[in-house]
Amino acid sequence: MNWKLKEKLAARLAREQGHIIYPAGGRTRFALAYPNSYFVGMSNLGLHIIYDILNRRPDTACERFFLPDGRELDEYRRTQTPLLSMETQTPLSDFAVIGFAVSFEMDYFHLLDMLEVGRVPVLASERDERDSLVIAGGPCATFNPEPLSLFVDAFIIGEGEETIGRFMDVYHDAKADGADRAETLRRLSHIPGIYVPSLYGHDYNESGELEVIYPIGDAPSRVERQWVKNLDDFPAHTVVVTDETEFNLYLIETARGCGRHCRFCMAGYCFRRPRNRSLGVLKDAVKAAKVYGKRIGLMGAAISDYPEIDALAGYILSKRLTMSVASFRADSVTETMIRSLAESGMKTITLAPEAGSARMRAVINKGIEEVHLFRAMDLGMAAGIRHYRLYIMIGLPYETEEDVDAIGELAGRLKEYLERNESKGTLTLSVNPFIPKPFTPFQWAPMANKKYIEAAMKRLKKALSGRKGIEMIAEPTKSAYIQGVLARGDRRVSRALYRAYLSGGAKSFSRAMKAEALKEEDYLYREYGEREILPWDVLDMGMKKEYLYEEWRRAGRMETTVPCFDGCRRCGVCI
């Protein structure tokens, strides 16, 4: 045991406000684990929500675990110190249940590191009655749990607020009855929204395609994702306050889900239907935040779509607080909202046209036109905001070189518009490869070839190279292709993930795929067939598969799909 590591955790805990510590004994210990750094994990609102729900139960003591930073992780291993909790510096393996919140595919590698350093058997098949039960939730667990199926005993599918309480009730009942591990998992599998991968078989044909998914024993044939019908029933705001987060904000969620039907967006499909919190509940959250004096970070799929955003922004300022948003829809932003952001000290407005040409925006059903971007800039410049950022994807389905050129041309027109209005601000393009995701119309689409992406990036950089005041930033393409495999991977990819973990992590993933006789191109570059069984088909997001496939076809025809509306019955969620 390294005492310096314990002291560092205790010192960080002392800088927090709002954490909860229960006396040892009397409550079931639940480890809420985020497979990334404390800095990133404490910026995740979902972590705060589940932490609060579990610690409000009379039978559960929830403590947090995070991935130690690089050198610190090495020190854990060198000194053979088990991974320790924030609250009481207790080893991970001492917890009855370990729940991972998984938001990003690249964190899969970190999840395995945390189990190893926590002295929990990495493979679910090697855990016995003495070992923790390992579960996972969050966006990645909901969309496609199969690449983690070797390591996780059970997945929470959908929004955890609806399921985590029922999970703990059944878990406690099973323990009270003396049920063994297998029987406990069998009982858990009958909770709506719980997927136990060991209770489902996957058979492949001679061509290596998934042929059938079948339940084992009395496991349900389908697992229905759960979603919160009334958001006001579950407050969603920062619970544990710390300065050591990505933006140092007090987070408040205004709404969940999105009905805009952007064809690439998981959040828009898996968190449908769109729901708003009441203004009164949000005002209460703002009042609770005032004691901390932090800037309010408003969260939601499309903040500017919140119907009472002007009233909320005005209320925040009236309390002498400031506010921030990650991004907003250029076609629904208001003058009041922009002015409130400017008065809050916001220096940069972020917009997400995603594509440079009107043709590509029709393919993805973005619904944003250049006139909306110019209007958002008008509002921003009038409020004194000088800097602008655009989120752009390349390699989208049906994209051509002309569409890549259109990105640079759009950037040029926007920068010229700033200059004509005597603004010396900057324009930053954040450009990343498109990655097809499950349960979207583009789940059937291949990812663009790596050579094409590299050439397109180079082409775009060259087009922008002579333009003063325009900057282009992009993440390394290598990680995007690992994410692509993991996003659409079947449970065979789980074997490659394990092999990569044994031999060095993400940097060994391509070699691990080859060693498992798996071809990355089969997951990246192949267009799936209409009637093909997909690895995540055992999960039910409430949408008809036929609807999603028709949206895929509509993308090729560049046909518009209107947003959700009352009485709509298109996708199946509201039937």
Question: Can you spell out the DSSP letters for 37-100?
Answer: -HHHHTT-HHHHHHHHHHHHSTTEEEEEEEPPPHHHHHHHHHTTPPPB-TTT--BGGG-SEEEE
For the chain, the distance separating the N- and C-terminal CA atoms, rounded to the nearest angstrom, is 56
What lies within 8 Å, CB to CB, of 501 at 6+ separation is 109, 112, 113, 116, 122
Token duo for residue 398: 């049906």
Whether the predicted pLDDT of 466 surpasses 90: no
How is residue 22 annotated by DSSP? Answer: P
Output the CA–CA distances (angstroms, integers) from residue 379 to 92, 314, 326, 338, 370, in the order listed.
50, 17, 17, 7, 14
Mean pLDDT of 444-455: 97
Whether the predicted pLDDT of 422 surpasses 90: no
Q: What percent of the chain has pLDDT over 70?
A: 100
> What is the model's pLDDT at position 505?
94
Output the CA angle 532-434-368, nearest 5 degrees.
110
Helix, strand, coil distribution of the chain in percent, nearest 5: 40, 15, 40
- Spatial CA neighbour of 305 closest among 336, 279, 328: 328
Using only the alpha carbons of the chain, give its radius of gyration. Answer: 24
Q: What is d(CA 159, CA 53) in angstroms, rounded to the nearest whole number?
A: 13
Whether the predicted pLDDT of 550 surpasses 90: yes
What lies within 8 Å, CB to CB, of 53 at 6+ separation is 160, 161, 164, 165, 234
Cα-Cα-Cα-Cα dihedral sign, residues 110, 111, 112, 114: positive
Q: b/e map of 45-74 (b: 16 or more CB within 10 Å)? A: bbbbbbbbbbbebeebbbbbbbbbeeeebe
> What is the model's pLDDT at position 188?
98
Q: Is residue 259 within 8 Å of 305, Cβ to Cβ?
A: no
> What is the model's pLDDT at position 192?
98
Helix residue spans in 85-217 (DSSP H): 108-117, 139-143, 164-176, 181-188
Mean pLDDT of 192-208: 97
**Number of Cβ atoms within 10 Å of the Cβ of 546:** 11
Mean residue pLDDT of the chain comes to 96
**Number of Cβ atoms within 10 Å of the Cβ of 436:** 24
Q: What percent of the chain has pLDDT over 90?
A: 93
State which amino acid sits at residue 482. Answer: I
Whether the predicted pLDDT of 575 surpasses 80: no
Whether the predicted pLDDT of 60 surpasses 80: yes
Whether the predicted pLDDT of 177 surpasses 80: yes
Whether the predicted pLDDT of 328 surpasses 80: yes
> What is the model's pLDDT at position 137?
98
Whether the predicted pLDDT of 1 surpasses 90: no
pLDDT tens, 400-416? 999 999 999 999 999 99
Whether the predicted pLDDT of 4 surpasses 80: yes
Mean pLDDT of 151-168: 98
Whether the predicted pLDDT of 382 surpasses 90: yes
pTM above 0.95, yes or no: yes
Whether the predicted pLDDT of 423 surpasses 90: no
Domains of the chain in start order, with CATH, are 3-224 (3.40.50.280), 247-475+543-556 (3.80.30.20)
Q: How confident is the model at residue 270 (pLDDT cuts 50, 70, 90)?
A: confident
Strands 539-540 and 223-224: parallel
Q: What is d(CA 138, CA 84) in angstroms, rounded to the nearest whole number?
A: 22
> What is the model's pLDDT at position 107?
98
Q: What is d(CA 131, CA 123) in angstroms, rounded to the nearest whole number?
A: 11
Mean pLDDT of 562-566: 91
